[in-house]
Amino acid sequence: MPSIFTKIINGDIPCYKIAEDEDNFAFLDINPNAKGHTLCVPKKEVDRLMDLDEASYMKLMTFSRKVGKAIEAAVPCNRVGMSVIGLEVPHVHVHLIPLHSMKNATFQHKEKMSPEEFEKIAGQIRAYLK
Ligand code: AMP
């Protein structure tokens, strides 16, 4: 069965899309640690980061860097942090998290956002990717 992220990539489940290239897809995390928290996902469905072949790993990191720089430009924050966890969704994803303090890196504190806020921040990040 396809992962929830494959369903998002295929357009079967909605998301707040940020960017896409041939190999990777980025969208806002629905339960964000901070406003602008984004996931970068390889289109190829692989569970564990360390199981990606080297070329796919490097492409994911290059893509994540590009998206992370756009987040840093669009979202006021100290810096963008990067985590790979994967304990909930077994499809590799890089968390890009605008950090204001260590609290945003813990996955314990969650930010409530309205659909309008998600749309707005997604548009602001996308504007820096043009
Ligand atoms: P983890 O697998 O522990 O790295 O966490 C999975 C992440 O995916 C969590 O931060 C979730 O909030 C996020 N997530 C799960 N389902 C969706 C979805 N449909 N759209 C956006 N983010 C999601």
Spatial separation of the C-alpha atoms in residues 51 and 71, rounded to whole Å: 27
How many domains in the chain? 1
What phi-psi label fits residue 36: left (phi over 0), alpha (psi between -120 and 50 degrees) or beta? left
Residue 24 has pLDDT above 90, yes or no: yes
Q: Whole-angstrom distance between the N-terminal and C-terminal Cα of the chain?
A: 34
CATH number at 20 reads: 3.30.428.10
**Global pTM?**
0.98
Q: Is residue 29 within 6 Å of ligand 1 at its C-beta? A: yes
User: pLDDT tens digit string along 46-78?
Assistant: 999 999 999 999 999 999 999 999 999 999 999
In which element (H, E) is residue 28 found?
Answer: strand 24-28
Report the separation in Å between the CA atom of 89 and the middle of ligand 1, taken as the mean of its atom positions.
7
Q: How close is the Cα of 130 to the center of ligand 1, in Å? A: 26
Domain holding 117, by residue range, is 4-127
Nearest ligand 1 atom to the CA of 15 is 20
Taking only the tens place, the pLDDT of each residue in 95-118 is 999 999 999 999 999 999 999 999
pLDDT for position 130: 85
Percent of the chain topping pLDDT 90? 99
How many residues are listed for the chain in this entry? 130
What's the chain's average pLDDT? 98
Ligand 1 close to Cβ of residue 30 (< 6 A): yes
Ligand 1 proximity of 15 Cβ (cutoff 6 Å)? yes
Token pair in block for residue 86: 């994967």
